[in-house]
Amino acid sequence: MLPSKSRLKTSFFRSESKKYKKRVWGKNIVLSFEKGSGQLKAGVVVSKKIAALATRRNRIKRMIYESLRGYQDKLNGDLVIIVKEDLADLKKAEVEKILQPLLKKLI
């Protein structure tokens, strides 16, 4: 999981992510990225429409944050990931397969 210093604060990414210029759409996920000079800061949004139970939403977030660890050195800036489909039943490797091509487009 990404350390807390590498995660965006909730209040920030709710308002600022709409202004990000670079977006990449996948079947289940949308990535919004704004280049910066510092380290990667990421935020994950999973709405209650996608997963009603908080435990499922948190599982999805944990899997995505864990998948981002390998990209900490490659991406510099703010990244907001919006989940469009329930991914809680997938394994971590499957989530990484979904994220990998989208993240490569941002590099």
Per-residue pLDDT tens digits of the chain, which is 107 residues long? 777 777 777 767 666 666 677 889 988 899 988 888 788 888 899 999 999 999 999 999 999 999 988 888 888 888 889 999 888 899 999 999 999 999 998 88
Q: Which 3 state secondary structure label does DSSP give 52?
A: coil
CATH number of the domain bearing residue 81: 3.30.230.10
Name the domain count of the chain: 1
Q: What is the CA radius of gyration of the chain?
A: 13
| DSSP bridge pairs for 80 | 32, 43
DSSP character at residue 65: H
pTM of the model: 0.84
Domain ranges, residue 53: 4-106
Minimal CA–CA distance to 20: which of 72, 64, 79, 67?
79
